[in-house]
Amino acid sequence: MPITDDLRKTLSDPTPLYALAGAGDLAVEKLREVPEKAATLAGTDRKVVQERATARLQEAQTRLTEAQAKVNETVSSLPSDFKSLQEKAQDFALQSVGRAAELAVKAREMYDELAERGKVVVDRQRKDTADELVEIAAKAESKADAFAAEVDQIAEQAATKVTDAAAAVEPEAPAKPAAKRTTPRKPAPKA
């Protein structure tokens, strides 16, 4: 049964839902900034934007040329000793593993932050829904009270009309004495 217990635990964990809600909330927050940034871009001169783009492109080309020169320099200065090359490869692999672990930790932190943000969003939505339900219940209760009062009033009016109608149909007469009942006597037994 451990598989079903694990599956049940996985399916009942709300954290992925919270992370999704948090990511949605973050996306909405970032999208709200778009009009402001678009207005800023629209306000700049097209020529200025082109000049900036050209400058960035030239900067990127310069960096690429420098990187190619470094790679060529590194390749030409590679040791002919395979042992030192193997050590460098192992160092690089260890650095890569460390970097991957670091990125995994950062990803988990981001996931937890999004989950916490989503929990806040979901709790806020639940509270808003609960407040709306309380308002609806209060309105329904007041309407039910008004309806009950109206029914009581109608019942009182109906009782009054029935009493009045009964009085009009049958005038009050003095009460007659109850008639005496006579029960026949049993004959006495013969001896």
Q: How does pLDDT run across 112-145, given as a tens digit for each residue?
A: 999 999 999 999 988 999 889 889 988 999 998 8
Banded model confidence at residue 19, pLDDT cuts 50, 70, 90: confident
Element (H, E) at 21: helix 15-43
pLDDT value at 178 more than 90: no
**Confidence (pLDDT) at 35:** 81
User: Average pLDDT in the 154-174 region?
Assistant: 78
Best CA proximity match to 121, nearest among 50, 48, 52, 24: 24
Q: How far is CA 100 from CA 28, 88, 106, in A?
A: 30, 18, 10
Q: Are 19 and 115 in contact (CB under 8 A)?
A: yes
Mean pLDDT over 98-106 rounds to: 94
- Alpha-carbon distance of 115 to 103, in angstroms, equals 18
Q: Strand, helix or coil at 104?
A: helix
Is residue 18 within 8 Å of 120, Cβ to Cβ? no
Cα–Cα distance, 98 to 150 (Å, whole number): 77
Q: Phi and psi dihedrals of 171, rounded to 5?
A: -70, 155
Can you tell me the distance from the alpha carbon of 75 to that of 87, in angstroms, rounded to the nearest whole number? Answer: 16
How big is the chain by its Cα radius of gyration, in Å? 46
pLDDT for residue 58: 92
Q: Which amino acid is at 50?
A: Q
Instruction: Look up residue 77 and give its DSSP letter.
Output: T
CA proximity to 5, closest of 185, 181, 13: 13
